[in-house]
Amino acid sequence: MFIISGKFHIIAISFFVYLFLNLIENLIHYNIGKFSNKETKIDLPSKKDWFKIILVMCIFALLQGLFTYFFEIFYK
């Protein structure tokens, strides 16, 4: 049923859910920080900023997936 079989499917699911939801949140925070003293508008980050945002998100998504997996094992 899952693309990734075995015990690591929870890591993959948690990873991708985190990336999707956190991308929206990060875009909101990016615009709040960029336009905090001006009228609020939506602006997309530059390629360099996208790279930084996605790199940090992937690191924390992986950590969340691993923590979710290990806490699931620990509390069973």
Does 10 score more than 80 pLDDT? Answer: no
Domain-wise residue ranges, the chain: 12-35+43-74
- The pTM of the full predicted model, rounded to 2 decimals, is 0.69
Does 5 score more than 70 pLDDT? Answer: no
User: 22, 59 in Cβ contact below 8 A?
Assistant: no
Amino acid at site 37: N
Long-range contacts of 68-74 (CB under 8 A, 24+ apart): 68/10, 68/11, 68/14, 69/7, 69/8, 69/10, 69/11, 69/14, 72/10
Name the band, by pLDDT with cuts 50, 70 and 90, for residue 31.
confident
Quote the mean pLDDT of the chain: 82
Does 15 score more than 70 pLDDT? Answer: yes
